[in-house]
Amino acid sequence: MKNENQSFSRSLWISRGKSKVIQIIDQRFLPFREVVCDLNTPEDVIRAISNMQVRGAPLIGVTAAFGVYLTLLHFKDNPDREAHIEKTIRKIRQARPTAINLKTAVYLQLNAISGLSNYEKKIEVAFQTALKYMDTEIEACRKIGENGLPLIETLYNKNPSRPVRILTHCNAGWLATIEKGTALAPVYLAHEKNIPVHVWVDETRPRNQGTRLTAWELSQAGVSHSLITDNTGGFLMQQGKVDLVITGSDRTALNGDTANKIGTYLKALAAKDNGVPFFVALPSSSIDWSLENGDKIPIEKRDPDEVLFIEGLSASGKIEKIKIAPDKSMAENYGFDVTPGRLITGLITEKGLCKANRKGILKLFPEKSGL
């Protein structure tokens, strides 16, 4: 959806006047092309999530919530609809395994519609629930921005002669949520308030979400940033050139252990060794209340071709994939790693900041204590 400046600032929306069509920015084409894609059917949703046309834990959660609505619509006149619906919703839930947001969203929808006998009512409730969930996620990101801002302000006040230098990994901006982002929300707010910031953007191999998405977002917003290779962060920290690390989360366990894009753990280790504060910004939809620690978080493995090939814009202006490895080499492609809570300085949530441990999390979310 484009704003009055005709640039995108939102990753998913309902097609104008057509509640049956969900529109997304197809993130596979960024930063080279701005392609909007219609999601009309549950299959479109499943494909969009697994092919990473949409990605980022909060965004795939919201997409899944609309996926449940589209499923009910799609099978409305099917004589065997209950079986189809069950199977399809299971597929939506399993479209990507690591982010808990997918499951959070699907359970929310199932809870909302279970017990309703009128099918039309079910469809309407599923649509309203998805809209409400999307609004909750937008509001959570706005709050994360507000709650994280003092971290940046404090660092700036300590050293007002230069920008606050923030390192981030992967993309946890508005492309990964609906609006504003998680890790980038405090950065955008600081920028709006004229606090000088400079973002070190990890390229984030193999899919280069840093290079392709975070750098694009920051360029659009006019936020000063430099791309760095994935191996550079530790060196910059040793040089005293990183004031703060903020990343997102795909799933945080009750003890603060956090699964995020592969390579996050290495940044946390380097931050610990260099006394650099390492924060994880997340909405509560990314907390897995059923997991005491991160040992059982499923780690997505993706196609080895994502490692063996790289994609970019050719001299003739075409998006092309080229091979970068020997023909006989194999590759392993783990999508995420788990950073232990003990390496995380704190969590930035919609309810405020807390320590990355059970006590800290439950103090912010006491209603979850009895689960």
# residues near ligand MRU by CB under 6 A: 19
User: Is 140 one of the binding residues for ligand MRU (CB under 6 A)?
Assistant: no
Q: Tell the residue number behind the tokens 């006989």, with chain if given.
A: 328
Nearest approach in angstroms of CB 186 to ligand MRU is 13
User: Is 12 one of the binding residues for ligand MRU (CB under 6 A)?
Assistant: no
Binding mask 142-181 for ligand MRU (x = CB under 6 A): ----------------------------x-x---xx---x
Part of the chain binding ligand MRU (CB under 6 A), chosen from 16-24, 50-58, 73-81, 193-201 = 50-58
User: Is 48 one of the binding residues for ligand MRU (CB under 6 A)?
Assistant: no
Nearest approach in angstroms of CB 101 to ligand MRU is 8
Q: Which is nearer to ligand MRU, 108 or 140 (CB)?
A: 140
Side by side, which strands form the sheet with 278-281?
225-228, 197-202, 164-168, 244-247, 278-281, 346-349, 352-354
Task: State the Cα–Cα distance between residues 189 and 170, nearest whole angstrom.
Answer: 19
User: Is 209 one of the binding residues for ligand MRU (CB under 6 A)?
Assistant: yes
Contact positions with ligand MRU (CB under 6 A) in 175-194 = 176-177, 181-182
Q: Which residues are catalytic?
A: 250
Binding mask 70-109 for ligand MRU (x = CB under 6 A): -----------------------------x----------
Angle formed at CA 233 by CA 50 and CA 29, multiple of 5 degrees: 30
* Backbone phi and psi for residue 336, each to the nearest 5 degrees, phi listed first: -140, 160
Helix 119-158 with 57-74: angle, nearest 10 deg: 170
The residues with which 14 forms a beta bridge, in sequence order, are 22
The residues with which 261 forms a beta bridge, in sequence order, are 336
Nearest approach in angstroms of CB 138 to ligand MRU is 12
Task: State the Cα–Cα distance between residues 104 and 270, nearest whole angstrom.
Answer: 32
Cβ within 8 Å of residue 205, ≥6 positions away? 230, 263, 307
User: Is 55 one of the binding residues for ligand MRU (CB under 6 A)?
Assistant: yes
Q: Which is nearer to ligand MRU, 71 or 214 (CB)?
A: 214
Nearest approach in angstroms of CB 48 to ligand MRU is 12
Contact positions with ligand MRU (CB under 6 A) in 317-336 = 335
Q: Which is nearer to ligand MRU, 51 or 290 (CB)?
A: 51
Part of the chain binding ligand MRU (CB under 6 A), chosen from 28-36, 56-64, 231-239, 271-279 = 56-64
Rg of the chain over Cα atoms, rounded to whole angstroms, equals 20
Angle formed at CA 257 by CA 253 and CA 245, multiple of 5 degrees: 125
Task: State the Cα–Cα distance between residues 210 and 191, nearest whole angstrom.
Answer: 19
Angle formed at CA 169 by CA 168 and CA 175, multiple of 5 degrees: 90
Interface with ligand MRU (CB under 6 A): 55-58, 99, 170, 172, 176-177, 181-182, 209, 247-250, 260-261, 335
